[in-house]
Structure 1
Amino acid sequence: MFNSLSSFSNDETGSFVSDEETKRQEAEFMYAGIVRDILVQINSTEVFIDEFQEYYDPCNAIFWYTRDTFLYRFLNKALREQDIDTLYGLRYFIKDLHEQLIELHHLSKNDTKSTANANIKTMYRGQLMNLNEFNKKIRYHMNGFLSVNTFLSTTTNKELAIFFVNGEIVHILFQINADESITKFPFAKLSKKSAFGNDEGEILFAMGAVFRIMLMDNELWHVTLKLTDEEDDDLCKLTKYVKNDIVQPIPLVSLAKLMGILARYDKAENFYILSFGPAIASQNAGCIAAVYNDLGLNYKLMEQINKAIRCFQISLDLKCKHFTNADTNPSLAITYNNLGGVYFSQQEYELAALMYRNAARIHRASTNPDQISLAICYNNIGTVCKEIQRYEEALLMYEMSLEIRLSVLPRTHPMIATTCNNIAHTYYLQGHSEKAAEYWKKTLLIQQTSLPSDHLLLGKTYQSLSIVSYEHGFLEQALEYAKKSQKVNSVNFPTDHPKVKEENEWISQVEEELDKLHV
């Protein structure tokens, strides 16, 4: 099956899929692709599944994938659900399978005769899909993109594909036209490597393949797809920026930073700790100091303040000991900034402001100022000012931060949403609720594009908009936002968590007000 589909369109004509749904799918596709790219960088140093210790060989990855065992379902379920623990456990197999597909794809491409259409391969896949999913992801996305997070099995045997769609819900026959000259998403015939030989004419695509939806015929819902290396421009810019932001010499640290962006802080902690193994021994002091800094930031977000301070102090000591001109080294500014965050969380606002201003001073004094880091400092100084009720100064610092971020970041970057949210909250505290609502709506538009649909920050923005809508008398809108916030919280917290209880109580309050209007 197409176990995990995302679709997004760069042509709005004829599309009945909501902007919110499209943005959600784009964000989930982006983060799944980044996870994939990190996993295939990790070098194999051990045999990873006990059951395979005696028999597994990296050269036989395709054979093991195609066998009728747990592995096919286990791997694709983990890819579909983005189960990072399972994917990390299978990282060496994923890398082996991906590299074997690249090798076979390269061999097939070189063997193909150099005629105009020789590189074009046509294959098929039978699919069962419920009507709602089909409508959202395919039917109303003509000429849009369709991405698959899992490895994708297809066949050159059309009759075999039709056999597999024999079921009771929407029957779809995908016809896939793929050009072998597109190397971004490798695919290959498995006849020589498969556990089943050539009986099924199986062709396997690497995880993350993207197709353009070309044609549809509703007799059997015959859907024609074309493998493409085209990309949505905004999504491409954001993906490149996020990758550049998290790239590290140690892939485990990259994975940890990505988990932090996704607010999965316990997973991030695990990967940071795992990185303090053989891989880090060969790194220089700057790299090790950076990992301690990032782990400290993660602990701060987990509200484990003592651990955060310890990590920041180790990072600071390493930098002061090994860096020349430490007083103007931007790396020190990053740790000062994070220490400011710790002091802020302990309500030591003067110390927090001092750390933030020290960080900003170092950035401004450096030879090539890091504008993004400087924007972070201004944003954080603004937050201190807001907390001590110096609202006009807070707005000034936030506007300075926003101006920099808009000039250097992709327009859908989460950092821009963060500053818009801070501006909104400051206006709300000043009693300017209409301006607050304006900036929270800007925040929401960016978050829906750049964050997974269950991210905690989205839940907070929905809650803020619910409150503002309620205060303006828009009760139905307030209830809609509140239920969206409730949905996010239900994914992230147990049912007895205070946040879930507060949300339920808020929804009950709004519903009671609506009932009074209808009496």
Structure 2
Amino acid sequence: MSSSQSDHVFLVLSHPINQQNASNIDNLQQIKSIYIFSNKINDEGRWTRNIPNYINDQNKLALKLHKDISPYRQEPFPMSILNVTNDEKSLQDLDEDSQKYIWYYLLFDVLKHMPGSDSSDAKKDMIEMCKNEFKLSDNGITALEDYERSTSETQSTHPSHILWYTKESFLHRTLDKAIRSQNISHIFNFRFFINGIQTQLLELYSQSTAFNNNEHFELITYRGQVILSNELHSMRKNVGKLMCVNSFFSTTLEKEVALGFMRVPTSDVKRVLFIITANTEKAVSQPFAQISSASFFPDEEEVLYMAGTVFRIDSVQMTNSGEYYEIRLILNDKNDEKVKELLGSIKHQLAEENSFITFGDFLIDLGRTDDAQKYCEMMLKKIDQKHYGKAIHPIYVYMYNTLGQSFFVKGDYHKARERYQFASKLSFQNQGSRQYTAEDSQALALTCTNLGLVYFQLQDYGTALRYFRQARDIRKDPRYPIDEVRLAKTYSYIALSQKGMGNKEMGLKTAEKALKYAKRLPERQAVLGWALLSQAACSRSEEAEKIYLEALNVFESGALPKNHPDLVYFHLQISKLYRNLKEFKKAEEHDQKALFICKTRNENPTAIKLCEEYITLDKNPPARKYSI
């Protein structure tokens, strides 16, 4: 024990200790407290500073340990400060905290909307994960078995997930760890537990409002703890902004109880008391409730907020006594309005409304392709076709497209093609099986576009052109609303494919169609950049440079983030032009920019290799010209 100086030890003994042992214990600074759990209550053996009293009741011992240990569970406070402004240009332009908030929001939204028939599988997944992936002690195994039994439908129609969350058990710790570490697999496999807690919070909230004659009021709760100095600094400089707590947030109605959860501050950690004012009307959109009736510790008057709740930081001030900081948080309607702006912008950029689809696309846009692949594979296993009737729901088509995209951006075009082809097969299965919808149509158009992009990368321009034309015809179908953004981009792809087949004249005419649609759209749309790019690629060399630079201006004005993978293709295209014009320094400048994007995203070794080959050509140019 003397070698583990950073540990905090709480020692429970079944008998008193003598004076010599007490002296040895006093020299071990890791031991924060000692408890004598015995039916024999006397003063014998009270030789050390660490024994506040003897305890002869198991429940009282559990309560005492819970209260004493909690202040020492020091981990980084799981918060994200949301910088919601009106001039956010793209997903990648958001700061890390805002991206993290969206990550949590979308994943929890996915879990919340899993089909009801998934409940049995969800519980099974959770139990199997706990048994297979966590090294459980005997007590942990017993707790898991008790949890499995107590949440069985034969045992209770209203299992108390909150009881198990508030217990001192591995379930609480492993769930919190999974959420804090953004472990997609673990969080997904905990969906039975997470959804159970959320459902119970809403039930307790409903009971509370019924008791108060459905009247809403402001609830004030408290939470005492220590936080890292840099976390306190972040809150102080962001007063007035929104803060998301990326885990379950436990508070109490009793200020004195909250103060009891603080411990002595150090140079690295500061004592804080959160004072939360919450409008109870918001408990529907951001669930919270007084959980004493369901908690393992009913005397703490606990109010639990759902993971992902967003508060506004109202103030951060040191108390007059100088003992701790008071951090006032507010939960109200204005928070919702700001968050909706942020989420609406992101879903618009990803062109999706369904969180099932948006989350996968979001992960790919962040460059987290392995997580996107893992997510799609988990979802495809769990969202079985039977949940949506006999026909294949378009969500499966979208999921396989996202899965294909996770391989595509890594340069694994053959695996991407396999997933896109399967998505295409699913789409065609639907034709004739039920009424074909606009959503089916758009899913098939997306699949054809993605197949075209794969064949384009494989330099099979004829096959690429065939798929792009199919996508165009689907998008122009008068039976469904026309998406002019995607139609314009499809025309750009057709033009580039025609150019790849050696028909620049036809490509130029098609690029003009892309421009016609693109110019009708709002400014700063990436699709205008693509239309100009396709026009430049099909133009004569003396005209192409000006058009390429016009496209670059569109992209750099905010249509695309600086490290977007589409810019790799753009820079490589213009570098070919400059090499053909024997302006090798300009060519190298664009190849270096493409290489920088590839290395920043660190996901496509094929593209990195191509950039490096082009840079070698720039530095050691051969005598011949290049086909552009």
TM-score by length of 2: 0.61
Q: CA deviation at 1:125?
A: 3.9
Alpha-carbon distance in structure 1 between the residues aligned to 2:229 and 2:535 = 45
Q: After superposition, give the CA deviation of every residue in 1:203-238 in whole Å (9 maximum; x if it has no partner).
A: 210011111222332444422111124222531422
Larger deviation, residues 150-159 vs 31-40: 150-159
Q: After superposition, give the CA deviation of every residue in 1:369-392 in whole Å (9 maximum; x if it has no partner).
A: 430542442343355467679596
CA contact 2:111–2:195 (8 Å) conserved in 1: yes
For the structure 1 residues 303 and 397, does the alpha-carbon distance in structure 2 shift closer, same or farther, using more than 3 Å as the test?
farther
CA contact 1:285–1:318 (8 Å) conserved in 2: no
Q: After superposition, give the CA deviation of every residue in 1:363-422 in whole Å (9 maximum; x if it has no partner).
A: 213312430542442343355467679596686466456456649xxx8xxxx5576578
Amino acid paired to 1:284: K
Alpha-carbon distance in structure 2 between the residues aligned to 1:273 and 1:33 = 20
Q: After superposition, give the CA deviation of every residue in 1:294-348 in whole Å (9 maximum; x if it has no partner).
A: 244554445444444444444445544552599x983543332222122112111
Amino acid paired to 2:287: P
Alpha-carbon distance in structure 1 between the residues aligned to 2:400 and 2:226 = 47
Q: CA deviation at 1:482?
A: 11
Q: CA deviation at 1:94?
A: 0.9
Q: After superposition, give the CA deviation of every residue in 1:221-277 in whole Å (9 maximum; x if it has no partner).
A: 4221111242225314225547982638xx6x7765554555444444445444256
For the structure 1 residues 399 and 458, does the alpha-carbon distance in structure 2 shift closer, same or farther, using more than 3 Å as the test?
closer
Which structure shows the higher helix fraction?
1
RMSD over aligned CA atoms reads: 4.7
Amino acid paired to 1:65: Y
Amino acid paired to 1:150: S
5 Å-filtered alignment, 1:36-435, equals 36-42=108-114, 43-46=118-121, 47=123, 48-49=126-127, 50=131, 51=141, 52-56=144-148, 57-58=150-151, 59-112=159-212, 118-131=217-230, 133-135=231-233, 137-162=234-259, 163-164=261-262, 166-167=264-265, 168-169=267-268, 171=270, 172-182=272-282, 183-199=284-300, 201-219=301-319, 220-229=324-333, 230-232=336-338, 234-239=341-346, 241=348, 245=352, 247=354, 256=360, 259-260=363-364, 262-274=366-378, 275-276=380-381, 279-282=384-387, 283-287=389-393, 290=397, 293-294=400-401, 295-320=403-428, 322-324=430-432, 330=441, 332-371=444-483, 372-381=485-494, 383-384=496-497, 396=512, 399-400=515-516, 402-403=518-519, 406=522, 416-417=525-526, 420=529, 430-431=544-545, 435=550
Higher relative contact order (CA 8 A, sep 6+): 1
CA contact 1:40–1:95 (8 Å) conserved in 2: yes
Alpha-carbon distance in structure 1 between the residues aligned to 2:273 and 2:167 = 24
Alpha-carbon distance in structure 2 between the residues aligned to 1:420 and 1:330 = 26
CA contact 1:360–1:377 (8 Å) conserved in 2: yes
For the structure 1 residues 499 and 169, does the alpha-carbon distance in structure 2 shift closer, same or farther, using more than 3 Å as the test?
farther
Q: CA deviation at 1:81?
A: 3.1
Amino acid paired to 2:251: T
For the structure 1 residues 25 and 290, does the alpha-carbon distance in structure 2 shift closer, same or farther, using more than 3 Å as the test?
same
Alpha-carbon distance in structure 2 between the residues aligned to 1:194 and 1:111 = 19
For the structure 1 residues 260 and 146, does the alpha-carbon distance in structure 2 shift closer, same or farther, using more than 3 Å as the test?
same
Question: Which one has a bigger Cα radius of gyration?
Answer: 2
CA contact 1:427–1:435 (8 Å) conserved in 2: no
For the structure 1 residues 355 and 437, does the alpha-carbon distance in structure 2 shift closer, same or farther, using more than 3 Å as the test?
closer
Within the candidate set 11, 34, 37, 2:106 is matched to 34
Alpha-carbon distance in structure 1 between the residues aligned to 2:518 and 2:228 = 44
Alpha-carbon distance in structure 2 between the residues aligned to 1:145 and 1:459 = 33
Alpha-carbon distance in structure 2 between the residues aligned to 1:155 and 1:426 = 64
Amino acid paired to 1:95: N
Amino acid paired to 2:105: G
Aligned-partner SS, 2:160: helix
CA contact 1:146–1:211 (8 Å) conserved in 2: yes
Alpha-carbon distance in structure 2 between the residues aligned to 1:21 and 1:333 = 29
Alpha-carbon distance in structure 2 between the residues aligned to 1:299 and 1:309 = 9
Q: Where in structure 2 are there 5+ consecutive unaligned residues?
A: 1-75, 132-140, 152-158, 576-584, 616-628
Aligned-partner SS, 1:147: strand
For the structure 1 residues 292 and 228, does the alpha-carbon distance in structure 2 shift closer, same or farther, using more than 3 Å as the test?
closer
Q: Where in structure 1 are there 5+ consecutive unaligned residues?
A: 13-18, 449-454, 507-519
Q: Identity over the aligned pairs, expressed in percent?
A: 22
Q: CA deviation at 1:425?
A: 10
For the structure 1 residues 276 and 225, does the alpha-carbon distance in structure 2 shift closer, same or farther, using more than 3 Å as the test?
closer
Alpha-carbon distance in structure 1 between the residues aligned to 2:257 and 2:99 = 34
